[in-house]
C-alpha cells in the first residue's frame, strides 16, 4: 500500500521516533503474530495472579517491590533539603531501569519558585544532558511559559518556575513508567514538592496525574483546578502531545491563562 506521507512528513515522523527512543526498525528474530494471537489467551489462563500490596499513590504493586516503597519513604522523609533529597534519590537502588540510564535527572529552574511543573520521565535528550524538559517538548514548554511571563530561570523570582519529573531516570525506549516504578518514586516526589514549596503545581500528562491524583484521563482533567499535596493543581496535556496534535495548543493556551490568573490572585 502506498504511503500518504510525503518526504518531509516521513522525515518528521522518523525524527519523532528517534526522539522517543526507537533505534531499531525491526526485531532480531521474526515473530509469528498469528500464532502469538492464538497462544496468548491460553497463556493468560495458565498464569497465576501475582500477589499485590497497596502502595501510596498510583495503585497496587507486587509484594516483591513493596519493601522498596517503604525504603523510599524512609529516605525521602530523612531529607532536610533539596540537595539531600537528590543524593537520597541518586543512591536509591529500587528501580532497575536506572542501570540503563545515562544520567540522573533531578530538576531544573529555580527552587522555591511559585510554580512547580512535574512531567513523566526524562527522554533521550534529557538523559543525555541530565536536565528535565530540554528536548523538543521542553523547548515548546519554555515558549509556553514565556507567553505568560514565566521562565525556569527568570531574574524576577516571582516569575520563575521549577521543573522535575516523576522518574529521575529515563525508561528504556521512553516507555510509560509501570505502576510499581511510580509507587517507588511517589514518596520522593511528595518530599520534593514539600521542600520546593510551590504555590501552584502543574502536572503534565497522565503519569504525574496518576502518581499524585490517583487517576488518569488527561484530556478530561486538563483545564480544571484540583488539589494535591495541600496546594492547587492544574493538569495539562504534555508538550509532547501538543507536538503531535497542534490543534490542542488552543486548549493549552486556555490552561496557561488559568495559571496566570491564579498567580495574580496571590501577588
Distance (Å, whole) CA 236 – CA 221: 8
Tell whether 73 is covered by a domain.
Answer: yes
Looking at residue 132, its pLDDT comes to 98
Distance (Å, whole) CA 110 – CA 152: 6
Looking at residue 42, its pLDDT comes to 44
Tell whether 36 is covered by a domain.
Answer: no
Check which CATH number belongs to the domain holding 207 and give it. Answer: 3.40.470.10
Tell whether 17 is covered by a domain.
Answer: no
Q: By residue range, what is the domain housing residue 59?
A: 53-265
Tell whether 114 is covered by a domain.
Answer: yes
Distance (Å, whole) CA 267 – CA 262: 10
Domains of the chain: total: 1
Tell whether 78 is covered by a domain.
Answer: yes
Tell whether 65 is covered by a domain.
Answer: yes
Looking at residue 241, its pLDDT comes to 96
Q: What is the mean pLDDT of each run of 10 residues along the chain (267 residues)?
A: 58 59 52 48 41 45 75 97 98 94 97 97 96 97 97 93 98 93 96 97 97 94 96 97 96 97 88
For the entire predicted model, the pTM comes to: 0.77
Amino acid at each position: 500500500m502506498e504511503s500518504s506521507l510525503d518526504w518531509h512528513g516521513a522525515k518528521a515522523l522518523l525524527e519523532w521516533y528517534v526522539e522517543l527512543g526507537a533505534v531499531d526498525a525491526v526485531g532480531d528474530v521474526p515473530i509469528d503474530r498469528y500464532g502469538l494471537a492464538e497462544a496468548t489467551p491460553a497463556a493468560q489462563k495458565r498464569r497465576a495472579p501475582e500477589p499485590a500490596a497497596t502502595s501510596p499513590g498510583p495503585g497496587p504493586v507486587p509484594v516483591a517491590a513493596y519493601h522498596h516503597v517503604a525504603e523510599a519513604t524512609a529516605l525521602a522523609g530523612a531529607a532536610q533539603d533539596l540537595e539531600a533529597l537528590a543524593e537520597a534519590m541518586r543512591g536509591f537502588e529500587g528501580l532497575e531501569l536506572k542501570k540503563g540510564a545515562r544520567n540522573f535527572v533531578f530538576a531544573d529552574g529555580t527552587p522555591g519558585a511559585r510554580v512547580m511543573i512535574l512531567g513523566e520521565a526524562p527522554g533521550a535528550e534529557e538523559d543525555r544532558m541530565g536536565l528535565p524538559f530540554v528536548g523538543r517538548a521542553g523547548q515548546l514548554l519554555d515558549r509556553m511559559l514565556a507567553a505568560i511571563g514565566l521562565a525556569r530561570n527568570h531574574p524576577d523570582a516571582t516569575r520563575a518556575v521549577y521543573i522535575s519529573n516523576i522518574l529521575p531516570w529515563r525508561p528504556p525506549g521512553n516507555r510509560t513508567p509501570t505502576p510499581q516504578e511510580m509507587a517507588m518514586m511517589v514518596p520522593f516526589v511528595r518530599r520534593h514538592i514539600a521542600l520546593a514549596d510551590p504555590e501552584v503545581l502543574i502536572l503534565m500528562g497522565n503519569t504525574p496525574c496518576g502518581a499524585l491524583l490517583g487517576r488518569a484521563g488527561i484530556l478530561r482533567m486538563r483545564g480544571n483546578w484540583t488539589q494535591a499535596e495541600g496546594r492547587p493543581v492544574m493538569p495539562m496535556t504534555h508538550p509532547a502531545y501538543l507536538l503531535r496534535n497542534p490543534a490542542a495548543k488552543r486548549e493549552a493556551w486556555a490552561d496557561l491563562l488559568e495559571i496566570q490568573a491564579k498567580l495574580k490572585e496571590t501577588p
